Amino acid sequence: MNTDGMDRSRSTESFPGSYASKHSIDNNDNSMAASSSNLAGVGIFFQQDSDSNEVFVKTIVKGGSADRSGVIRMGDVVVRVDHDNVEGQPLAILRTGILGTQGTYVTLGFRRREGADITYYDVPLMRGSPEYFESLKATQPLQDEIDRLKRQNSHLETQKAHDAAELLRYRQHMDQQRKDFDQKYLDMNDLMARKDEEIARLKQELNSTGDSRREATAIRNDLLKLKESYKDDARKAEEKENLRMQYIEDLKKKMEEERQRMESQIRKLEQDLRNERRMREDAELRENRLVEDMRRKMEDDKSRKLKEQEARSKFDNERKRVQEALKLNETIAQKLKEVEPSMTQLHMQLYVPEKGTSPSPSNKISTQSNLIPATSKDDEESFFMG
């Protein structure tokens, strides 16, 4: 189900001796999408089998939330939306639970069948269209990576819980086998006791016949062999149990190491994010200070018309301060170089010498020194937006 916009369509497939109809949900209903432009899904097309009423993943939208998680596969059956069981529910119920405001989260539970194995897992997904996630990439690349790692970690935790349940089931099975073996062993002991009683009775009859004695001996030997065979089976079962326990312990150790590695990566990414934010705040603070200095320079330049000598002295001082700021911040210096041609042109428009006169050296110096404050408001905005 791509719940950014949905409609219901029906497709029918015929097989020899059977009939199957499937209902699907697509995202082609433009009128519905227009009426709920702020609603979005998780980038999945779902389809429902009318025979079993199972709702499974038909298509995964590229760039959507499900595609970004990297966990969900086509053919997986949805069984839960947040804490609500949706098995056998109509598609309208599923749509109501999944659709929501862009940027909010919904947790979907799936069932995956691989051969004879069945796996259950949960995936937290952010609602939003592919375009919405593309817009987030420019501002939150590290946060997206952290969310992806957290989802992978959640998937590993779910897998761990499944392995623990499988281990419990196997232990219960082994306990039942052990009980059955103990019961067989007790039955064997009872049988041996009865056979011993029979042998004792036969020994009393052996005085009259040697054939009966040999037959009883053969029966007793057979029973002893059968008892040894049961002991061998018990020893083999115990060895298999030990190997199984060793394998489970190794699997737990590997999962714990993987979890610790994932947590370490998440902590490192979070630290990098904090450092980047701190550096960005420092850069903005320096830029704000420079803007304030440039604004004061422009005001001084305007007042220079009335007080030429005083303004020139103040401007020289301000220019020295700007040059000191440029030396401290190479990035800001590069930006000033980029806007210098536009400032020169503006200055020439503001200070065009009268016809028939040539600018004096002092005027040339003044012209060069006035390049910086001659920027327009648009130039300042484009500089800080960069």
Rg of the chain on CA atoms, in Å: 41
Same domain, 47 and 117: yes
Which residues is 40 bridged to in the sheet?
100
Structural domain count of the chain: 3
Residues 174 and 163 in one domain: yes
- Determine the structural domain holding residue 73 and report its residue range: 39-128
- For residues 246-266, one letter each, b for 16 or more C-beta atoms within 10 angstroms of the residue's C-beta and e for the rest, the string is eebeeeeeeeeeeeeeeeeeb
At which of 113, 128, 143 does a domain end? 128
- What does the block give as tokens for 212? 């009966």
Residue spans of alpha helices (H) in 18-113: 30-35, 65-69, 91-98
- Which of 72, 66, 69, 71 is closest to 41 using CA atoms? 66
In a domain, 352, yes or no: no
Q: Does residue 113 sit within a domain?
A: yes
44 DSSP β-pair partners: 60
The sign one gets for the Cα dihedral 214, 216, 219, 221 is negative
| 157-196 pLDDT, tens digit each | 778 888 888 888 888 888 888 888 888 888 888 888 888 8
112 found inside a domain: yes
The verdict on residue 357 lying in a domain is: no
Residue 197 and residue 244 share a domain: no
Q: Are 24 and 48 in contact (CB under 8 A)?
A: yes
In this structure, the answer to whether residues 101 and 174 fall within a common structural domain is: no
Give long-range contacts, CB 8 A cutoff, 24+ apart: 165-174: 167/248, 170/244, 174/241
68-99 burial code (b ≥16 CB/10 A, e <16): bbebbeeebbbbbbeeeebeebebeebbebbb
pLDDT of residue 320: 83
Same domain, 59 and 84: yes
Q: Is residue 307 part of a domain?
A: no
In a domain, 355, yes or no: no
What is the pLDDT at residue 359?
A: 52
Q: Sign of dihedral through CA atoms 182, 187, 189, 192?
A: negative
* Residue 137 and residue 176 in one domain: yes
- Given 101, 128, 155, the domain boundary residue is 128
Domain annotation covers residue 19: no
Asked if 45 and 117 sit in the same domain, the reply is: yes
Domain assignment present for residue 140? The answer is: yes
> Do 89 and 119 lie in a common domain?
yes
pLDDT digits 0-9 by tens, 253-297: 988 998 899 898 899 989 988 998 899 899 889 889 989 988 888
Q: What is the mean pLDDT of each run of 10 residues along the chain (386 residues)?
A: 40 29 37 54 91 91 89 93 89 90 92 90 90 74 68 79 83 86 86 86 75 75 85 87 90 90 90 90 90 86 75 77 76 77 82 54 46 46 37
Chain-centre distance of CA 287, in angstroms? 36
Domain harbouring 95, CATH code: 2.30.42.10
Identify any residues that bridge with 121 across adjacent strands, giving them in sequence order.
110
Residues 248 and 263 in one domain: yes
Whether residues 124 and 135 share a domain: the answer is: no
Of 209, 224, 242, the domain-final residue:
209
Are both 168 and 244 inside the same structural domain? no
Examine the domain organization and report whether 119 and 142 are in the same domain.
no
